[in-house]
Chain A
Amino acid sequence: MYQFNYHKASSVADAAALLTRNPEARALAGGQTLIAAMKLRLAAPPDLVDLAGIKELSGIKVDRGTLTIGAMTRHAEVAASREVLQSIPALASLAASIGDRMVRNMGTLGGSIANNDPAADYPAGVLGLGATINTNKRKIAADAFFKGMYETSLEAGEIITAVSFPVPKRAAYAKFKNPASRYAIVGVFVSEGAGGVRVAVTGAGTSVFRASQLEKALASRFSPDAVAGIQVSADGLNSDIHASSEFRAHLVTVMAKRAVNAAIAGK
């Protein structure tokens, strides 16, 4: 790892000032991706701004049909939270499926979506539930947040403070994971709520995306049979040693079916 300057932010305003003053600086959340990338010298920020000391960035609350999770809330906390298990159990089980126990004890919601890894789990939950990303500057709809591979609409000095999820009628996440990395080869998050049916796919493309073909079919009939016959196009999907684009396209339908089944069963 290359040398860097370490700053521990005491507040969101302090962190924003540090990030603005040092344009090449990176915010450090749980570090489960960033530290690993820095060790490999894939990332070499001259300054790190540690957000872990900012108390107001952590916590979980449910208020009038909205579940709000602080950006620095660890995956293990989300997975075990009574509020999350009662309001959106699919999100708790998604959090429980990330990495392994030790990674879940460090990794955070804000860190995951700010990084926007094409195979990360949280982007599927955030987009699939039509969540709102709250930052120190504004509120961003999930549909406008995920821009491309490792790319989001966050601006310089902008810090995610929390994510607000509308509580759906039902939802589920199904993931076909890489057995070594536990990242999604394909993960599909399905929800049905006030905003209609949403289907978000991770792992398959350059970034999380909504599968409108599947959404339409499920909007007319929320049943695994409604999507069983749909063949998703492999055009533009990822292809690597783990899975061809055709296999990933096939998995999108299979995972969507599993997610719909689980949503109906309430699991």
Chain B
Amino acid sequence: MSVKVSMTVNGKPVTAEVEPRTLLVDLIRDNLRLTGTHVGCDTAQCGACTVHVNGAAVKSCNMLALQAQGATLVTIEGIAAADGTLHPMQEAFREHHGLQCGFCTPGMVMSAIDLARRHSNLTEETIRAELDGNICRCTGYHNIVKAVQAGAKATRS
């Protein structure tokens, strides 16, 4: 049995036929072919699947596509400018080498953007505490923290 689900993804309206049990991340990756959103642990711990639903960072592997019915979604593919200019947070991750293998990076960037929006003055301590839902198994946290701090500053300026 499939049902129709509609939402706005990266500014474009999308409609898909899914089973009720289809996870949001599977809709994003398999139906919409937006494979920048990753499935790491698949148990809502690692944060590689982080996307923004109505402006809030959520783990798309731990919610149903139907829970996002009518919502506005932004994935990692939707944050750079139309001409390809990187989002300031992406640019900061590049500049500070806030990645090693890169698998966790889309989730890290999506969480970092959400974090930068909510705090006007991001300390290293706050970044480390608030990024606890994103795991980097290369353990490259030090540069990630530097990147988030720089990215947050650049986003505001």
Contact = CB atoms under 8 A, between A and B. Distances in A.
B73 to A, nearest CB: 13
A150 to B, nearest CB: 18
Contact of B63 (A8, A76, A106): A106
A102 B50 contact: yes
A50 interface: yes
A31 B63 contact: yes
Contact of A100 (B3, B56, B132): B132
Contacts of A38: 21
B106 interface: no
A59 B141 CA distance: 36
Interface stretch (B28-36, B64-72, B81-89, B145-153): B64-72
Interface string B9-32: 000000000011101000000000
A13 interface: no
A18 to B, nearest CB: 14
Interface size class of A (residues with CB under 8 A): 20 to 34
B104 interface: no
B137 to A, nearest CB: 13
A35 B64 contact: yes
Interface size class of B (residues with CB under 8 A): 20 to 34
A39 B111 CA distance: 24
A39 B42 contact: yes
B7 to A, nearest CB: 14
Contacts of B20: 3-6, 48
A32 B140 CA distance: 27
Interface of A: 1-6, 8, 28, 31-32, 35-36, 38-40, 48, 50, 52, 76, 99-103, 105-106, 180-182
Closest A-B pairs by Cβ, 7 of them: A100-B133, A6-B20, A105-B56, A1-B21, A102-B59, A102-B133, A102-B58
18 contacts: A2-B21, A3-B20, A6-B3, A6-B66, A28-B67, A31-B62, A31-B63, A35-B64, A40-B43, A100-B47, A100-B132, A100-B134, A101-B57, A101-B114, A102-B47, A105-B57, A105-B58, A106-B58
Interface of B: 1, 3, 19-21, 23, 42-45, 47, 50, 56-59, 62-64, 66-67, 69, 111, 114-115, 130, 132-134
Given A6-B66, A100-B47, 8 more contacts: A4-B21, A5-B1, A35-B23, A36-B43, A36-B44, A50-B67, A100-B134, A102-B57
